[in-house]
């Protein structure tokens, strides 16, 4: 099975929103983690330039369907998920599908009831059609202008073959990423994943020898929008702090499966996880961060120093080349390392100044400098767009803050509703997923970098330590 | 089943011994079997099945002929580890907010714990460091470690061999009281002594 994105009906200037086309060569893109059998995406497409600042209003009618009820169901799912994916990135103003539900579905662009679409403010109608052959699903998308001299003009058209009826959500995500890239010039994140810790499944923590030992906490992965949750660990212990590798397939995390916290590393291929840092009762290792080139892991470890005090260590992923980046013999504790996008700097927390603050150092341990001066703070995440999001202690609780490292004051993203901790940043730098108690238990929420667009992503159990995967490459 | 019955008998004997022995204090503040409240009445202590919480009906009386020497069988030497940890003779040690400093109450609790560990010389104990929910999870893992290690170091000064003490931090991941107020937080800032191995 292949997803073939086959261009194209034509990309033309329309209403000043969509502009000229440049062709880009066919490429092969892997689709990490969706469906291991699922193949690369082959593209032969036309790229349209973006027009930042304008937000065309788009309506999405039901797709026309060739096939049975199952195909209809898949087509409805694609329409709804695509609508949500486009709405999430805020590049299009998406008209609520309920407000357009009464407008008759048209089979062809020419027969769209333009007056009705104009009435509810649509600049464009996103028409879709779906047909299936067995479980293979083909979805055709057309973006039709409702305005100008020639309403009915097609501004974007694409046929996506090789989707499957069973995996309609992924089909929608692939279409959304494609539309964002080609129409708006934005790297979408609809195919990304979130790894996190949850106690959602009943199960006693078996590494504490007492009946009421507490609920075990396992690592899970879900789609960026909270769908498709699946477990990664099943060891009935405590598993926290998952960290993705750059390939979107490697995961490192901290587990107490051997009673003491140690770094575990897996390629999500069914082979047993490795323990490159070789933890023991005396050498306890936590909070791994895989380097951007995938070759190294930074982590905090109690080895070598005064018992109970942690330093930042780095090790090659095969367990060699272990070194301490923050050696000291005083009562300082360092933790929560995170790499910059180039992999030549590491941010981390230290209490050396009295309270826990963020520091930045070169990846060889030289040149440490303090970069936060309020708080205490914790859990920095150095985003692919080169800013650092972190947890900031406020008088009433915790909030998410963003630091640009160019001398400005940090910007606080959340507004004090509940306690807000452990931010992780989308690969395109436009969204943050974090832990909040605003809905009672610990849940994951998404917020845009400007503080708007709060969405609840989890509803079951307590959910912590989110970590955003890189985009599929 | 046979083991359970044997163990109930052992409990009964121990109960009678502790009830009749002239030197044994009646209160539960001392060491030994009497300091293990619940061991003689709590069903989970006799049933390894982790879900049981009912009360065991009193066992038939065991007649001890007079003038015959009685060997006291300490229930703690036979009880499953989980049963001992459920109602442990080892006391928790509490801490102030964001602190790993041991206060007088902590030292007193550990003096008692040291006596228990000297009496049961095969016990290996893991000291767990726990924190309340108010900090951050990452910071609390380190704080819990410092609490556990502070407790371990003091136990060693009391004469308990370091080899019999392990430490691990759970930060704020396993609160003893899940509520969100000071009375809960107070319970959750602790070094918890968990029997890990014996015999």
For chain B, the first-to-last Cα distance in angstroms comes to 21
Task: Tell me which residues of chain A have a C-beta less than 8 Å from any C-beta of chain B.
Answer: 204-205, 208-214, 217, 238, 240-241, 256, 259-261, 281, 284, 286-287, 300, 302, 307-310, 333, 335-336, 349, 356, 376, 378-379, 391, 393, 398, 421-422, 464-465
Q: Which residue did the predictor score with more confidence, B50 or A241? A: A241
pLDDT for the residue B53: 40
Q: Say if the Cβ atoms of A379 and B145 lie within 8 Å.
A: no
Give the one of B82, B100, B146 whose C-beta lies nearest to A209's C-beta.
Answer: B82
CA distance B123 to chain A (A): 13
Residues of chain B positioned with their CB less than 8 A from the CB of A218: none
Task: Assess whether the previous peptide bond of A440 is cis (omega < 30° from 0).
Answer: no
For chain A, the first-to-last Cα distance in angstroms comes to 18
Mutation pick from B141, B146, B162, B166 vs chain A, by most beta carbons of A within 10 Å, is B141
Give, for A82, the enclosing helix (H) or strand (E): helix A69-89
pLDDT for the residue A64: 96
Give the one of B44, B137, B194 whose C-beta lies nearest to A208's C-beta.
Answer: B194
Give the residue ranges of chain B where pLDDT is below 70: 1-71
Q: Which domains does chain B have, with CATH numbers?
A: 2-80 (no CATH), 90-197 (3.30.1330.60)
Average pLDDT over residues A211-238: 95
pLDDT for the residue A67: 92
Query: DSSP characters for A107-160?
Result: SSGGGS-HHHHHHTT-SEEEEEEEEEETTEEEEEEEEEE-SSSSTT-EEEEEEE
| pLDDT band at residue A473 under the 50/70/90 scheme | confident
pLDDT for the residue A328: 83
Q: Which residue did the predictor score with more confidence, A5 or A81? A: A81
For the segment A312-332, what is each residue's pLDDT rounded down to a tens digit? 999 999 999 999 999 987 888
Percentage, residues of chain A above pLDDT 90:
77
Q: Which residue did the predictor score with more confidence, A151 or A90? A: A90
pLDDT for the residue B59: 57
Q: Starting from the edge strand earliest in sequence, which strands make up the sheet with A193-198, in order?
A: A230-231, A218-223, A193-198, A463-468
Q: Which residue did the predictor score with more confidence, A426 or B63? A: A426
Percentage, residues of chain A above pLDDT 70:
88
Residue A51 has pLDDT above 90, yes or no: no
Residue A290 has pLDDT above 60, yes or no: yes
Residues of chain A positioned with their CB less than 8 A from the CB of B44: 211
ipTM score of the complex?
A: 0.86
Q: Which domains does chain A have, with CATH numbers?
A: 3-184 (3.40.50.10070), 193-468 (2.120.10.30)
Most confidently predicted of A33-47, A260-274, B34-48: A260-274
pLDDT for the residue B22: 38
CA distance B102 to chain A (A): 15
Among candidate residues B75, B112, B97, the one with its CA nearest the CA of residue B147: B97
For the segment A132-162, what is each residue's pLDDT rounded down to a tens digit? 999 999 999 999 999 877 778 888 888 998 8
């Amino acid at each position: 099975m292949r997803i073939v994105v086959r261009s194209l009906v034509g990309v033309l200037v329309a209403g000043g929103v969509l502009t000229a086309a440049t062709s880009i060569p066919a490429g092969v893109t892997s689709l990490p983690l969706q469906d291991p059998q699922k193949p690369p995406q082959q593209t032969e497409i036309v790229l349209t330039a973006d027009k930042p600042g304008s937000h065309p209003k788009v309506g999405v009618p039901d797709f026309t369907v060739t096939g049975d009820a199952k195909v209809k169901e898949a087509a409805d799912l694609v329409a709804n998920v695509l609508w949500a994916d486009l709405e999430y990135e805020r590049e299009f103003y998406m008209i609520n599908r309920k407000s357009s539900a009464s407008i008759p579905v048209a089979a062809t662009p020419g027969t769209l009831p333009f007056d009705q679409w104009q009435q509810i403010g649509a600049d464009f109608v996103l028409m879709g059609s779906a047909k299936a052959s067995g479980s293979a699903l083909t979805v055709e998308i057309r973006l039709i202008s409702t305005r100008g001299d020639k309403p009915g003009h097609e501004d974007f058209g694409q046929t996506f073959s090789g989707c499957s009826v069973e995996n309609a959500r992924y089909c929608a995500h692939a279409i959304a990423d494609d539309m964002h890239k080609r129409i708006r010039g934005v790297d979408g994140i609809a195919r990304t994943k979130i790894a996190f810790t949850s106690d959602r499944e009943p199960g006693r923590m078996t590494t504490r020898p007492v009946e009421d030992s507490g609920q075990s906490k396992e690592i899970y992965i879900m789609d960026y929008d909270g769908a498709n949750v699946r477990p990664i660990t099943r060891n009935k212990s405590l598993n926290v702090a998952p960290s993705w590798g750059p390939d979107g397939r490697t995961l490192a995390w901290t587990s107490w499966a051997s009673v003491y916290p140690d770094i575990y590393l897996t390629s999500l291929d069914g082979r047993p996880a490795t323990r490159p840092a070789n933890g023991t009762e005396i050498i306890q290792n936590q909070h791994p961060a895989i380097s951007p080139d995938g070759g190294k892991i930074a982590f905090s470890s109690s080895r070598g120093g005064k018992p109970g005090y942690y330093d930042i260590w780095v090790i090659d992923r095969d367990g060699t080349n272990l070194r301490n980046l923050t050696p000291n013999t005083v009562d300082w504790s360092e933790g929560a390392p995170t790499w910059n996008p180039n992999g030549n700097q590491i941010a981390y927390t230290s209490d050396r100044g009295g309270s826990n603050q963020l520091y930045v150092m070169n990846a060889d341990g030289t040149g440490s400098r303090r970069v936060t001066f309020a708080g205490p703070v914790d859990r920095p995440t150095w985003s692919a767009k080169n800013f650092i999001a972190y947890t900031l202690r406020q008088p009433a609780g915790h909030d998410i803050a963003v630091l640009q490292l160019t001398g400005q004051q940090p910007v606080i993203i959340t507004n004090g509703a509940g306690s807000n901790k452990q931010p992780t940043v989308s690969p395109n730098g436009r969204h943050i997923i974090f832990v909040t108690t605003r809905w009672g238990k610990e849940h994951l929420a998404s917020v845009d970098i400007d503080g708007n667009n709060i969405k609840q992503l989890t509803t079951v159990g307590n959910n912590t330590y989110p970590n955003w995967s890189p985009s599929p490459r | 089943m046979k083991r359970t019955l044997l163990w109930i008998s052992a409990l009964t004997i121990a109960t009678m011994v502790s009830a009749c022995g002239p030197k044994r204090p009646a209160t539960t503040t001392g060491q030994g079997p009497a300091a293990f409240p619940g061991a003689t009445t709590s069903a989970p202590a006799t049933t390894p099945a982790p879900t049981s919480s009912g009360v065991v009906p009193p066992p038939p009386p065991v007649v001890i002929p007079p003038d015959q020497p009685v060997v006291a069988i300490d229930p703690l030497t036979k009880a499953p580890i989980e049963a001992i940890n459920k109602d442990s003779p080892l006391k928790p040690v509490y801490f102030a907010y964001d602190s790993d400093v041991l206060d007088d109450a902590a030292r007193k609790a550990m003096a008692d714990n040291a006596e228990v560990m000297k009496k049961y010389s095969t016990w290996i104990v893991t000291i767990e460091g726990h924190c309340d929910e108010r900090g951050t999870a990452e910071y609390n893992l380190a704080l819990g470690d410092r609490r556990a290690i502070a407790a371990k170091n003091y136990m060693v000064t009391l004469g308990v061999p370091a080899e019999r003490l392990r430490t691990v931090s759970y930060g704020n991941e396993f609160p003893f009281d899940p509520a969100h107020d000071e009375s809960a937080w107070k319970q959750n800032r602790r070094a918890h002594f968990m029997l890990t191995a014996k015999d």
